[in-house]
Chain A
Amino acid sequence: MLEVRALSKSFGGLAAVDRVSLDVGHDEIVALIGPNGAGKTTLFACIAGFIEADAGSVRFLGSDITGLPPHRICARGIARTFQITQPFARLSVLENVMVGAYHTTRVRRDAADRAEEVAWQLGLGPQLDMRADALTLAGRKRLELARALATRPKLLLLDEVMAGLNPLEVEDVVAMVRAIRAGGVVVLLIEHVMQAVVSLARRVYVLSNGRIIANGSPAAIAADPGVIEAYLGHGAAARLQRGGLHA
């Protein structure tokens, strides 16, 4: 469904995304993990058209979408959320989600219905009339999700929708993402919360210093020496194998 090939983006001399290739199939939830600063968000921004890549290509449903502006990419069926939530602060929750819903209809009534449906699905029902800037962090993360989902995407790019949530809230969002997947939407998610990654994704890509260093099932990834080193530092994998990490 989504094919990223040798995508590269440098800022100054720093290769934030370095020849990254990844695939997302038609019926999966794929996770993208990696240490802070690995280039995950930059990669998302390149896919969604917010940053123009220096090289490489992005294909979606068989057609090339490299370099298209964000609204065109959304029109193709890719919706994204922002790691740092970007609510329409002075609009109500309903109005926020309606902006997404208006993507597929120009009729106000239809947009409102769609928005309410999505908001309830994501547990925002009781806050429909609340201003977006009055929401808690958990609420804002859900709002990001709701707005994106309201555009009726085929592929959702979720950028750390669980960061900063407590374990109970994470469980809620995990269930929601699973429900979204069951509704026919493919999900590619950036996530640090391993609890979520393990329970959602069958496949995981690991990005470190702009490069994909591993991909596979969550269990295989967790045992991969390269991944352990990327997170814990050089030599950590060997020390772990010798029996416990003594920092």
Chain B
Amino acid sequence: MLAVLGVLALAAYPWVFRSNYAINVGFLILFAAYLGQTWNIAGGFAGQTSFGHVVFFGVGAYTSTILQTAYGMNPWIAWPFAALAGAFTGWLIGVLSYRAGLKGSYFALITLAVAEVGRVVANSLPITRGGLGILVRADHRAANFQFKDPIWFYYLALALCLLAMLIVWRLTRTRFGARLAAIRENEDAAQALGIDSFREKVKCLTLSGGLCGAGGTVYVQKYLYLDPSIAFGVDKSVEMLLVTMIGGAGTVLGPLIGSGVLHVVGEITRDLGNSLPGVSNAQPLSIIVYGAVLIAIVAWLPDGLMGLFSRRSKDARRA
């Protein structure tokens, strides 16, 4: 019931706030929530904290974009290839690092390093046009995966976001999800109970990478430009991690709520400096306020904003 209302509200949003600005902010919220959700599958559910999730996004983005610009493939058809490339990257990173027994912070560092490698490689290869980046020729037709009206990208992001939430919701109710949670909580105990943790972790990272890679295509089709720092920038990895942690890792709604809160706070603090007399440079101030909000959330809500709800409902049950 609440879920239906929520979906309706999200679907109605662009009809209530009709400015392009509002719709673009809405897109950014949903898109970051989607990417966050792909991080959530690995980091939130299986406890495989990645600091370089952007690598899947970047590989997917470059795959579909190169297929499109260099080989003339229709971007809709190139899209699944982006997902496949992301999934393959996830599989490869998983096999290599889990075979080597890398866990926790070591795994996080490996993903961070792989994303950096991606950036360096994209910067130097002719096929990615190095630091110049790739411009996708503007040709606004739906058949061409380009929409003149930003509302379509909003709905596309909404659809992806809902799909990812559905997948994550399934994780909370299936054996695969239960096994990932077990691995997250205690890998030795999970293995003692018959779980092939290597296999499950690789499967999880493949799924996460595939979804994240599909996101890359959407981003390029909206902004029609891709360069190495967009494709493999640390900031995007951090954003995926942040929206999920703020909202609540390992929950279905966490990334969406986290993304909403972060973007709204970001948009508000961006204008803050301008309204304060005597502050000439707005940028540092807004970052300070933004940072303070983050610290406050992390300090008081270690389980994220969703923790607030579960804590309350638990209190209600006890009463």
Contacts and interface: CB of A to CB of B under 8 A. Distances in A.
A95 B192 contact: no
Interface stretch (A6-14, A58-66, A74-82): A74-82
Interface string B186-205: 10111111111100000000
A100 interface: yes
A99 interface: yes
Given A86-B186, A89-B186, A111 B192 contact: no
Give the most central of A89, A102, A111: most B CB within 10 Å.
Answer: A102
A65 to B, nearest CB: 14
Contact of B181 (A50, A69, A88): A88
A87 B193 contact: no
Interface string B165-199: 00000000111001101100110111111111100
A74 B189 CA distance: 11
Nearest to B193: A100
A202 interface: no
Contacts, number: 77
B205 to A, nearest CB: 18
A95 B195 contact: no
Contact of B193 (A89, A95, A99, A108): A99
Nearest to A153: B194
A236 interface: no
A245 interface: no
Contact of A99 (B173, B188, B195): B195
B191 A79 contact: no
Nearest to B181: A91
- Taking residues whose C-beta sits less than 8 angstroms from the other chain, chain B's interface range is 10 to 19
A183 B192 CA distance: 21
Given A86-B186, A87-B186, A108-B173, A148 B178 contact: no
A102 B185 contact: no
Say which size band chain A's interface belongs to.
20 to 34
Contact of A88 (B175, B186, B194): B186
Contacts of A151: 193-194
A79 B195 CA distance: 12
Contacts of A79: 192-194
A103 interface: yes
A98 B182 CA distance: 10
Contact of A50 (B188, B193, B194, B197): B188
B214 to A, nearest CB: 27
- Which of B174, B182, B189, B197 counts the most chain A CB atoms within 10 A? B189
A90 interface: yes
Contacts of A48: 192
A207 B181 CA distance: 37
A69 B192 CA distance: 9
A111 B181 contact: no
Identify which of B175, B181, B188, B193 gathers the most chain A CB atoms within 10 Å of its CB: B193
Interface in A148-185: 148, 150-151
B193 A103 contact: yes
18 contacts: A50-B192, A69-B196, A71-B191, A71-B195, A74-B191, A74-B194, A75-B194, A80-B192, A82-B189, A86-B192, A91-B185, A95-B178, A99-B181, A99-B190, A100-B194, A102-B175, A103-B194, A147-B189
Given A95-B181, A108-B173, 7 more contacts: A50-B192, A74-B193, A74-B194, A86-B186, A88-B190, A98-B178, A99-B193
Query: 6 closest Cβ contacts across the A-B interface?
Result: A74-B194, A88-B185, A86-B189, A70-B191, A103-B194, A99-B182
